[in-house]
Amino acid sequence: MGLVELPESHPLVRPGGTASAPLVRALRGDRPDRVPVWFMRQAGRSLPEYRRARDGVPMLDACLDPDLAAELTLQPVRRHGVDAAVLFSDIVIPLRLAGVDVDIVPGRGPVLARPVRTMADVRALPELPTDAFAPVARAAALAVAELGDVPLIGFAGAPFTLAAYLVEGGPSKDHLAARTLMLAEPETWRALVTRMADYSAAFLRAQVLAGASAVQLFDSWAGSLAPEVYRSRVRDASARALAGVADLVDPAGRGVPRIHFGLVCPGLLADLRDAGADAVGVDHRTPLDRAIELLGPDVPVQGNLDPAWLGAPEAPRLAATDRILAAGRKAAGHVFNLGHGVPPQTDPDVLTALVAHVHDWEAER
């Protein structure tokens, strides 16, 4: 695969852009002056301005309204001073834009009108139109125009997570139907997860070409799989998704940093790395120092404060934060984050104070 040089206008390339931003440096294995911090689901219901802007607007409609999506992307940067924006979108947006009948049901999550469980179902899945991601790219470009030297993170759902939604027809506690399909009908599963990888790769690439300076692949359900099943049925598809931006480089040949995050995956951390990630996101169930031991000291890590600490008293919350920051020094680079998304009931002032604490931590040592 040949390399494609990012344009001079891209934030990772242009003077005064994001190449020297703490987040990008940490993801590339460098040690910036402060530990960068952002939060999964930072653009969400914890912010009153988000609730006002989203009032009466269905989730997927908000994602596909470029002006609204850009505004929601920028809100946590303005309020909290985080070191990155993450594009306001949803992992099922590629499905919607391909023409799959999917919606977000409040209180439940993504729901499919028709599950995909046979090879005929897989073959009936539509191809993505060439310009499918135009509204996503427009939202990203609008956000980047306001962010200056603050990086925008693009993201996508991992192929297994998307495929699991399609097979189950919606959220599932154990993903039994998806796990059964991959074992009972391996050819059907391979065709499905490959199609999902191509959807996710195209989604990531559209965001980078519109100005994203890093990407994250979310594998929310990977922890439901035994390691050997993940390796034989899933990992190659995740690698295919991450490869969707692997050829995009700056003039020095440096790629766009790629983060791979999975939930409940202590036995899969090395596999997340080996799928083509530059950095690995660690959820709160695995101590960060243990994750670094499993990954090796040359791999940047992201994480991993338990979101439950956001509702706890300040002193123990900051003590838990300090333990994670200290552990992060053992890795090549560390981006502070939660081990999962921001709970909607979180007091936004707690997040703002947490960002300030993380930023001040190195200077106080």
207 labelled as ligand-binding? no
Contact between 80 and 355 under an 8 Å Cβ cutoff? The reply is yes
Q: What whole-number distance in Å separates Cα of residue 342 and Cα of residue 37?
A: 13
CA distances from 19 to 24, 25, 219, 250, 346 (A): 6, 7, 27, 9, 32
Backbone angles phi, psi at 259, to 5 degrees: -105, 140
Residue 340 in marked binding region: yes
Q: Catalytic annotation on 230?
A: no
14, 28, 41, 138: which is the annotated catalytic residue? 41
Dig out the tokens for 336 from the structure: 């502070």
CB atoms within 10 A of CB 318: 17
Bridge partners (DSSP) listed for residue 157: 218
**Is 44 within any annotated ligand binding site?**
yes
- Are 63 and 93 in contact, with CB atoms under 8 Å apart? yes
Whether residue 41 is annotated as binding a ligand: the answer is: yes
Distance CA 24, CA 3 (A): 20
Q: What distances in angstroms separate CA 26 from CA 13, 56, 329, 334, 336, one per listed residue?
A: 17, 38, 11, 6, 10
Is residue 30 among the annotated active site residues?
no
Is residue 42 marked as binding? yes
- The secondary structure element, H or E, covering residue 5 is strand 4-5
Question: Is 41 among the residues known to form the active site?
Answer: yes
> Cα(166)–Cα(174) distance, rounded to whole angstroms?
14
Q: Which one is catalytic: 83, 90, 278, 283?
A: 90
Binding site annotation covers 220?
yes
Q: Which of 165, 179, 258, 283 is catalytic?
A: 165
Under 8 Å between Cβ of 58 and 12 = no
Number of residues that this document lists for the chain:
365
| Residue 75 labelled as part of a binding site | no
- Catalytic one among 25, 54, 235, 273? 54
Question: Catalytic annotation on 54?
Answer: yes
DSSP for 293-353 reads: HHH-TTS-EE--B-GGGGGS-HHHHHHHHHHHHHHHTTSS-EEB-BSSPPPTT--HHHHHH
Flag whether 262 is marked binding: no
For residues 131 and 65, the answer to whether their CB atoms sit within 8 Å is no
275 is in an annotated binding site: no
Q: Per the residue annotation, which of 28, 45, 190, 254 is the catalytic one? A: 45
Q: Which residues are annotated as a binding site?
A: 41-45, 90, 165, 220, 340
List residues with catalytic annotation: 41, 45, 54, 90, 165
Name the binding residues for substrate: 41-45, 90, 165, 220, 340
